[in-house]
Amino acid sequence: MATRCKTAILISGSGTNLQAFIDAVAAGNLDLELSVVLSNNPDAYGLVRARNAGLATACIEHGHFSSRDSFDRAVALKLNEWRPDLLILAGFMRILSAGFVDRYRGRILNIHPALLPAYPGLDTHQRVLDAGEKWHGSTVHFVTEELDGGPRILQGRLPVVAGESASQLQTRVQAIEHQIYPEAAGWVGEGRVQCRDGRTWIDGSATDDPIVQTFDLSGNRL
């Protein structure tokens, strides 16, 4: 049997995406070994989710470090205890230094709640509503030094509903994140999707466009 891809999940908050990974592995739909869940926030509810699932946890509080580099070195040192093949950023609210990204180049994934390259940064749901966009969604991408700018793998998109609030939109976007993030991570774990020469490679072909999946108003894949 092939060795499963050892995966670390980095969180800062509620961890609903983490829960989606836990559930997908438990259901036999995702072939990753979830080695450790690391948080920079000791109060992150995701740590409770991880413990409830019997996963190893670690907490490195960024406030205890004088610089981004020293925090990142401590995170890398801690992760080394598990030697993960893949890092999943799931609501990890720290920008990683160039040195850290380089150390794990091509092996860090993030999910960003917008159809990148549109709307990098924060407050995406409100900005999408303010702009009157018809479509919104989320993007799974490789992490590079450029914030929210690494090669894209998979996008889930859904129609914006007239008059909905930013929090309603966020809830709908998160529901599709819970489907697309484990799926894309599974592709990377099995080697179907790779990051090489700053591009995404899918089944041996380089591409600059992500795979796009469209969802209906109820969050079902069309």
Cα–Cα distance measured from residue 131 to residue 123, given in angstroms and rounded to the nearest whole number: 12
Work out the number of other CB atoms within 10 angstroms of the CB of residue 211. 18
- Measured from the CB atom, the residue of 51 and 196 that comes closer to ligand GRF is 51
Whole-number minimum distance, CB 205 to ligand GRF, in Å? 27
Instruction: Determine whether 112 is an active site residue.
Output: yes
- DSSP β-ladder status, 5-11 and 108-112: unpaired
Name the token pair of 34: 């979830």
- Measured from the CB atom, the residue of 70 and 167 that comes closer to ligand GRF is 167
Whole-number minimum distance, CB 93 to ligand GRF, in Å? 8
Contacts of 195 (CB under 8 A, 6+ apart): 105, 106, 142, 150, 151, 201
- Measured from the CB atom, the residue of 139 and 200 that comes closer to ligand GRF is 139
What does residue 147 show for φ and ψ, rounded to 5 degrees? -60, 125
Q: Nearest residue by C-beta to ligand GRF?
A: 91
Whether the CB-CB separation of 58 and 88 falls below 8 Å is answered with no
Name the token pair of 185: 């991570």
- Measured from the CB atom, the residue of 18 and 143 that comes closer to ligand GRF is 18
- In the set 62, 64, 112, 136, the catalytic residue is 112
Whole-number minimum distance, CB 204 to ligand GRF, in Å? 29
Give the footprint of ligand GRF on this chain (CB under 6 A): 11, 13-18, 90-91, 111-113, 138, 174, 177
Whole-number minimum distance, CB 37 to ligand GRF, in Å? 11
Residues catalogued as catalytic: 112
